[in-house]
A and B are shown apart, each in its own frame.
Chain A
Amino acid sequence: MIDETESAVDSQLLAYVDGALSPIERQALDARLTSDPGLKERVDALAAGGRPFAEAYDLLLRNVPHERLTAALDRARATFAAGRAEKRASAARRWLRPMAAALAVFLAGSAVGLGVGHFVVDAKVGDQSATGDGGWRDTVAEYLTLYTRDTLANLPDDPSVREAELKSVGDKLAVPLSVDKVALDGLLLKRSQLYNLDGQPLAQIAYLGPEDGPVAFCIIAKDDGDRPPTFEERQGKNIVYWSKAGHAFMLIGNLSRSALETLAASLAARVA
């Protein structure tokens, strides 16, 4: 009786039987087999367990219920589409309320000549986990899926407004911000806004790229320790996130990973 151990020897013998050894390994083992009957016996036992496996499994492939599987795929697609629509609707519900409030504050501010700088919104957004590890990025990513080029395209490009927005947002987050600090090559700085995520201020600085559409640089006060820029994907968006000095940062958009990483490195060097 041959012992079923997980030994390296058995692994090597298996690879031998399967023809998975390199020619040199094979030669070496061939030489040992001629002089070691015990080893030869084990190889023979493994070889005796060989079967025309592929042919046997092909029999199953010839009996696939094609119609049922096509129907299964259709059902999966329908469930997926329905789930996505619900997710979009819920993201919209969650964000439209603070957005409407922000717009009201903005309009009121403009009317009395205060201009920008009062984007603070009190409405609670997100669930309890929204500020948890990665949760805030998910919320931001979900929100950004609602953005199109048109969301940002018609905003007036007034440098003094941009500076004022950035100063206001930066003051709230205790991060010095200016057009010089956040300008990104190839992207047009369009707007800086403050949101409230579970009681914490969340800054969103929005850009528009000529090809890849909206890009957002977001900041939240969050003590994660210092972490270097890291790439991830959420909600179909590419993201680079990092943290430094009590703040978590993320840059998100449809840019390629390499383009996004370059821009994030540039921001990380200037903003802290």
Chain B
Amino acid sequence: MTASGHDAVMAGLASHLDRLWRYGLVLSGNRTVADDLVQSTCLRALERSHQFEAGTRLDRWLFSILHSIWLNEIRAARYRQGEGLVDAESALVFDGIKEIETNILAAQVLREVQSLPEAQRETVFLVYGEGLTYREAAEILAIPIGTVMSRLAGARLKLAALASDETDDEVKKRK
């Protein structure tokens, strides 16, 4: 029923802000853009709350809204302004992150995944970071499930190559 869909959105939004922001940060690499993405997503969700089916996963629904705003509005606007895409390994991601010094492995993994092309980066985040199934990620990204899997395979091969480069470097250093 419609009214309860709206109520569910009104009541549930606050509890998903953290994960929306993290998704926005992974996409944009920029904390301010991530803030804006959260706000735009909240507004769009309120405007379309009658489309939300109470009893289904609100977080998934919000993710798909955020994805679409990023793709169709923010990213598109950046292209128009000639700013291009945020480059992957954006130092901004780590700006203000306190544990980064003490959590070296996690920081290294973040650097690596942020260096992936955007499509792979986003898919890796949804499946391996958020724990979505391939199908759930496909629905949020509005792409076929096969594309989700090929992005993940591509990402894994790139990350594997990074690891082997590092190993080579270490071997050289030791020599």
| B interface residue count range (under 10 / 10 to 19 / 20 to 34 / 35 or more) | 35 or more
Q: A29 on the interface (CB 8 Å rule)?
A: no
Q: Determine the chain B residues whose CB is within 8 A of the CB of A11 once the complex forms.
A: 146, 149-150, 153
> Does B38 contact A57, Cβ atoms closer than 8 Å?
no
Nearest CB of A to B161, in Å: 8
| A interface residue count range (under 10 / 10 to 19 / 20 to 34 / 35 or more) | 35 or more
Nearest CB of A to B139, in Å: 16
Q: A112 on the interface (CB 8 Å rule)?
A: no
B110: which of A60, A66, A70, A76 is its contact (CB, 8 Å)?
A60
- Across the A-B interface, how many residue pairs have beta carbons closer than 8 Å? 165
Please report whether the interface of chain A is mostly helix, strand, loop or mixed according to DSSP. Answer: helix
Nearest CB of A to B168, in Å: 13
Listed residue (A18, A51, A61) with the most chain B CB atoms within 10 angstroms of its CB: A51
> Does B106 contact A73, Cβ atoms closer than 8 Å?
no
> Does B107 contact A59, Cβ atoms closer than 8 Å?
yes
> Does B156 contact A46, Cβ atoms closer than 8 Å?
yes
Residue of B nearest to A58 (CB): B106
Q: Determine the chain A residues whose CB is within 8 A of the CB of B130 once the complex forms.
A: 57
Q: B171 on the interface (CB 8 Å rule)?
A: no
Within 8 A of A (CB), among B108-164: 109-110, 112-113, 124-125, 127-131, 133-134, 146-147, 149-150, 152-160, 163-164
Q: A256 on the interface (CB 8 Å rule)?
A: yes
> Does B158 contact A49, Cβ atoms closer than 8 Å?
yes
> Does A56 contact B109, Cβ atoms closer than 8 Å?
yes
Listed residue (A66, A76, A237) with the most chain B CB atoms within 10 angstroms of its CB: A76
Q: A23 on the interface (CB 8 Å rule)?
A: no
> Does A76 contact B6, Cβ atoms closer than 8 Å?
no
Given contacts A46-B157, A53-B128, contact A60 B149 (CB under 8 A): no
Q: Determine the chain B residues whose CB is within 8 A of the CB of A236 once the complex forms.
A: 2-3, 6, 50
Within 8 A of B (CB), among A1-18: 2, 4-6, 10-11, 13-15, 17-18
Q: B55 on the interface (CB 8 Å rule)?
A: no
Among the 9-residue stretches A77-85, A124-132, A151-159, A160-168, the one with 4 or more Cβ atoms under 8 Å from chain B is A77-85
> Does B110 contact A56, Cβ atoms closer than 8 Å?
yes
> Does A63 contact B113, Cβ atoms closer than 8 Å?
no
> Does A61 contact B18, Cβ atoms closer than 8 Å?
yes
Q: Determine the chain B residues whose CB is within 8 A of the CB of A50 once the complex forms.
A: 156, 159
> Does B109 contact A52, Cβ atoms closer than 8 Å?
yes
B1: which of A52, A56, A234, A257 is its contact (CB, 8 Å)?
A257
Q: B75 on the interface (CB 8 Å rule)?
A: no
> Does A69 contact B18, Cβ atoms closer than 8 Å?
yes
> Does B2 contact A233, Cβ atoms closer than 8 Å?
yes
A residues lining the B interface (CB < 8 Å): 2, 4-6, 10-11, 13-15, 17-18, 20, 45-66, 68-70, 72-73, 75-77, 79-80, 83, 233-238, 254, 256-257
Closest 4 CB pairs of A and B: A49-B156, A76-B42, A56-B109, A48-B160
Q: 15 A-B pairs, CB-CB below 8 angstroms?
A: A10-B150, A14-B156, A15-B149, A46-B156, A47-B160, A49-B159, A49-B160, A49-B163, A51-B128, A53-B129, A60-B25, A60-B93, A63-B97, A66-B17, A69-B21
